[in-house]
């Protein structure tokens, strides 16, 4: 744990999560604002979030894995692909980055427009249980896509990781906006809730994505493409134990073991 804390690569990854989440929220929510009367343009919103994620995965994926989402980080944690220590710092950076992005957007947006900054609104005909289920399913397919595209065990991977994840987010929005606003990301819902001081039914946007992300990660790692690791190895990763290094190799050029599954 302490070797990570003293590592420059660790803090660079934390900053990358803060930076990427800030821009994801800024551009995604910014494209969601209604500047004129009438219904929101669902395709515009879906593409904005999809393009934003694809761009940021390409930009910082090799640095932090570009989680940009507490539900994604939680999925990697329960799959024993990152340490508990790193997960806590990732989630904190994501929440702070999301608030920073929403705050900048709030500051540059006219007062008459910024009132609908909080995109996440449950449709009046959708119950809280249904909304939670929808958020869980949206996040499940997204995390499943992440685990599959980031998996270093796949030989001959085709296509672009960043585009695949961007399409997955866009798909979730095309369906989910009508039900819940399609959060799929607790940080993305937390930021506008803080600025508008509106936490009504906010728990839905935590519980749904966390459950969906956890199920997606577990289904991929234990059923679809099992990752053969013993209990001791999993506990070692969760504790943040320093990975073994080949004799004579300098420790300063080693990446944390959990990032090996997130290379692009």
The average confidence (pLDDT) of the chain is 87
DSSP-derived 3-state class of residue 24 = helix
Note the pLDDT of residue 259. Answer: 43
**pLDDT above 90: residue 261:** no
**pLDDT above 60: residue 245:** no
Mean pLDDT of 227-254: 65
Q: How far apart are CA 52 and CA 258, in angstroms?
A: 24
Q: How far apart are CA 230 and CA 30, in angstroms?
A: 45
**pLDDT above 80: residue 53:** yes
pLDDT top residue among 58 and 115? 58
Note the pLDDT of residue 1. Answer: 59
Note the pLDDT of residue 236. Answer: 85
**pLDDT above 60: residue 258:** no
Of the candidates 159, 164, 148, the one whose C-alpha atom is nearest the C-alpha of residue 54 is 164
Mean pLDDT of 158-181: 93
Note the pLDDT of residue 118. Answer: 67
pLDDT tens digits along 59-118: 999 999 999 999 999 999 998 889 999 999 999 999 999 999 999 999 999 988 877 676
Are the CB atoms for 43 and 174 separated by under 8 Å?
A: yes
Q: Is 237 exposed, middle or buried (0-12, 13-18, 19+ CB in 10 A)?
A: buried
Q: How far apart are CA 169 and CA 157, in angstroms?
A: 20
Residues 6+ apart with CB under 8 A from 168: 50, 141, 142, 145, 146
Angle at alpha carbon of residue 38, lines to 35 and 39, rounded to 5°: 100
CATH number of 2-242: 1.20.1080.10
Are the CB atoms for 162 and 145 separated by under 8 Å?
A: no
pLDDT top residue among 259 and 111? 111
Q: How far apart are CA 163 and CA 167, in angstroms?
A: 6
Of the candidates 89, 66, 261, 86, the one whose C-alpha atom is nearest the C-alpha of residue 169 is 66
**pLDDT above 90: residue 250:** no
pLDDT top residue among 26 and 255? 26
Q: How far apart are CA 241 and CA 76, in angstroms?
A: 16
Mean pLDDT of 123-151: 95
pLDDT top residue among 242 and 185? 185
pLDDT tens digits along 183-226: 999 999 999 999 988 899 999 999 999 999 999 999 999 999 99
């Amino acid at each position: 744990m302490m070797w990570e804390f003293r590592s420059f690569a660790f803090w660079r990854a934390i900053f990358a999560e803060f930076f990427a989440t800030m821009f994801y929220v800024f551009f995604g929510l910014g494209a969601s604002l209604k500047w004129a009367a009438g219904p929101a343009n669902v395709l515009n919103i879906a593409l904005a979030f999809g393009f934003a994620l694809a761009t940021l995965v390409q930009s910082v994926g090799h640095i932090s894995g570009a989680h940009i989402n507490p539900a994604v980080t939680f999925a990697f944690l329960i799959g024993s692909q990152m340490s508990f220590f790193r997960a806590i710092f990732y989630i904190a950076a994501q929440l702070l980055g999301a608030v920073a992005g929403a705050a900048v957007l709030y500051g540059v947006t006219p007062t008459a427009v910024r009132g609908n900054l909080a995109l996440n609104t449950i449709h009046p005909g959708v119950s809280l249980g249904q909304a939670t289920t929808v958020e869980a399913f949206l996040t499940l397919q997204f995390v499943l896509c992440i685990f599959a595209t980031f998996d270093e065990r796949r030989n001959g991977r085709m296509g672009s990781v960043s585009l695949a994840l961007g399409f997955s987010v866009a798909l979730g929005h095309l369906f989910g906006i009508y039900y819940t606003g399609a959060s799929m990301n607790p940080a993305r819902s937390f930021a506008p809730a803080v600025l508008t001081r509106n936490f009504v039914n906010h728990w839905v946007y935590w519980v749904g994505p966390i459950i969906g992300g956890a199920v997606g990660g577990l289904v991929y790692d234990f059923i679809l493409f099992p990752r053969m690791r013993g209990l001791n190895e999993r506990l070692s990763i969760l504790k943040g134990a320093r990975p073994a290094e080949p004799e004579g190799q300098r420790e300063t050029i080693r990446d944390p073991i959990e990032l090996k599954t997130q290379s692009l």
